[in-house]
Structure 1
């Protein structure tokens, strides 16, 4: 019996995730970056090299590299190659707060508008974020939060339907999604990514800001125990929000 060809080191890091192939390639590259094997400015193997090492199609590899470039994790230089990008400057967030409580603590009035509250099938991005299979049921809510009638946040949230099966039945004008989810699946772990963006035209309309006005985007994922509960995009007008943190050394 012929000896099977050896498995490349990169292929060995792919694991057995049910995620789409291109998403598994993205996970593998992210792992190489996070663990320091591929530092900033490291030249990533070419598409042809990755096809050979991973055994996936060129289309799959191309999509993974293209999306990671769009996300700012890689830099592609025509005729030269693809390189690991310098990380963006980060701001630490130490606590997760209920926006209604934050507004009340300033002596102001919180109200909100529920724009979307519906069931969806998880696409590849949502499935990856919530550690589920593509096509599984998720709940989607889009809510605009107001402070004294001025919009201060768009909360675009996807929720694991298995964790909070009654989510769509809630009246979120009376209780925020954060408050409800913390009751049914108490928060034990959170992840934040913060960056500056230019909001989409539809988002500018909801926030009542001019097109091109800079905004602050917080991408937040939370867990209850080992179970991912929710993935949210929180968009704040830059002129109406600031981040504060304090640490002890």
Structure 2
């Protein structure tokens, strides 16, 4: 019996073409469209129902593709609204206190703000202690939501010393920012801060359009000017859209 040659023994049979799962095809399509600029950061992508019709598949197949892209932070969902292209995580430096409007502009994006509260209020015991004041002493209080390309990225809850910023309540914080005003009237002398991950209170979660059970990165900061505490601020940032970075 004739033996097969070495060449004959090692001839490879054609490999079967492996087909990608349909959900992966849809996922790749969405990624390609985002990378091509078809949908920009903060813009809505087609609904699951529309994508299911486009690809001729069950909605649950589309749902898996969207869920995976959401887990990978390529997309994010707002309940009752839709699915949107997630921005790259915003970076904020801790080396210098910067105006958030300037940070957003430096990234080539558009900043706007929405004032939810601007009033004179009696300080709580905790807030008063941070200013070195007696409980219920009058302070200025503001709550402002900052947006980047119409996507909410920060809730700024700030208490201000009227002795250092007497015209605080007269400012239009839809045009300027508390940081810009305070730097002008109460030059920075000192600062301390802390950062922690916390679940947001319901009003904060609503203002930031956050998904259920998502945590915030919370920056708490106290500043001094002319030997007095000028401002005590708590800034809430969606953990999926924000990160702090810096170097020394």
Normalised by the length of structure 2, the TM-score is 0.61
Look up the match of 1:110. Answer: 111
- Name stretches of at least 5 consecutive residues in structure 1 with no aligned partner: 1-91
Partners in 2 of 1:195 and 1:216 — Cα distance? Answer: 6
List aligned pairs for 1:118-137, cutoff 5 A.
118-137=119-138
Q: What SS does the aligned partner of 1:222 have?
A: strand
Query: Could you tell me how far 1:201 is from its partner in structure 2?
Result: 1.4
Look up the match of 2:195. Answer: 194
Query: Could you tell me how far 1:158 is from its partner in structure 2?
Result: 0.4
The yes-or-no answer on 1:174 pairing with 2:175 is yes
Q: What SS does the aligned partner of 1:114 have?
A: strand
Query: Could you tell me how far 1:160 is from its partner in structure 2?
Result: 0.8
The yes-or-no answer on 1:149 pairing with 2:150 is yes
List aligned pairs for 1:17-166, cutoff 5 A.
93-166=94-167
Q: What SS does the aligned partner of 1:157 have?
A: strand
Q: What SS does the aligned partner of 2:244 have?
A: coil
Query: Could you tell me how far 1:225 is from its partner in structure 2?
Result: 3.0
Partners in 2 of 1:162 and 1:121 — Cα distance? Answer: 15
Q: What SS does the aligned partner of 1:239 have?
A: coil
Would you say the 8 A contact 1:201–1:211 is kept in 2?
no
Query: Could you tell me how far 1:128 is from its partner in structure 2?
Result: 0.7
Partners in 2 of 1:118 and 1:188 — Cα distance? Answer: 25
Larger RCO: 1 or 2 (CA < 8 Å, sep 6+): 2
Would you say the 8 A contact 1:110–1:148 is kept in 2?
yes
Query: Could you tell me how far 1:149 is from its partner in structure 2?
Result: 0.2
Q: What SS does the aligned partner of 2:243 have?
A: coil
Q: Which has the larger radius of gyration?
A: 2
Would you say the 8 A contact 1:189–1:225 is kept in 2?
no
Partners in 2 of 1:242 and 1:123 — Cα distance? Answer: 30
Q: What SS does the aligned partner of 2:126 have?
A: helix
- 1:144-181 per-residue CA deviation (whole Å, 9 max, x = no partner) reads 00000000000000001111111111100111000001
Q: What SS does the aligned partner of 1:171 have?
A: coil
Query: Could you tell me how far 1:245 is from its partner in structure 2?
Result: 1.1
Q: What SS does the aligned partner of 1:199 have?
A: coil
Look up the match of 1:61. Answer: none
The yes-or-no answer on 1:230 pairing with 2:231 is yes
- Name stretches of at least 5 consecutive residues in structure 2 with no aligned partner: 1-92
Normalised by the length of structure 1, the TM-score is 0.61
Question: Once superposed, which parts of structure 1, at least 4 consecutive aligned residues long, lie more than 4 Å away?
Answer: none
Give the CA RMSD over aligned residues. Answer: 1.1
Query: Could you tell me how far 1:93 is from its partner in structure 2?
Result: 2.8
